[in-house]
Amino acid sequence: MNIRVFRTPSDAGIYAASMLERVITSSERPVIGLATGETVIPVYDALVNFVRCGLNVSHVTTINLDEYVGLAPDHPQSYHQFMNQYLFSRIGVRMQSTHLPNGVAPDLVAECERYNEVIRNHPIDMQVLGIGVNGHIGFNEPAHTLITGTHVVNLTPETIAMNARFFSRKDDVPRQAITMGIQSILQAKQIMLLAFGEHKADIIYRALKDGIRTDVPASILQLHKDVTVILDRQSAARLGL
């Protein structure tokens, strides 16, 4: 596991985008696993700048980690809209080459199977991950057991509270999500885990230094052979680096 600590999230985002560029330019059909949330915005901003400077992404396939249950793709707080706002619309990616779960599918079990098939057909070269303050990756929440494939998850009260700032009312925050499973994440050839801010320092320490445990799902990344952890100084504060 490689750990890189940067002065600012912007500096870290440039480094992360350069890692994505290496994957994109070294494969005829690269597949990138994408995440959403404030943490990845600096990465997408930097990647957009790379595209404006000549990086070709027309041959890239993307697969997102998750989507809220009950939010249509055109809902302002859906992850479809997040990706369109912060990345897809800014780089001219072919929308048929982007994949996200359908949070309003009439049969959620069938939708999970469909998404598992998408992942099987497009092995992920590089998976981008953030980490929740409770240690979730994707929406794989702390639990006694971790589910391998795509599944519907009940979001924890902690996650719901953290997400409430994006909604006008707490009651509007979705209580469930469709998420890529732990096994699908671990099958990516390379993984980058990003965390910024003092509020992530404790969970980063627990995920990287406190053993592998299901109540800190991100700790499972210790088993992967090629993980780069990208931090700012605040999130790395407890690591003693």
Catalytic center residues: 66, 134, 136, 141
* The pair of three-digit structure tokens given for residue 3, joined into one six-digit string: 């750990």
Nearest-angstrom CA–CA distance, 212 and 154: 22
Contact 133, 201 (CB under 8 A): no
Cα dist from 239 to 7, 141, 195, 218, 235, whole Å? 15, 23, 13, 16, 9
Nearest-angstrom CA–CA distance, 8 and 11: 5
- By DSSP bridging, strand 31-34 and strand 2-6 are unpaired
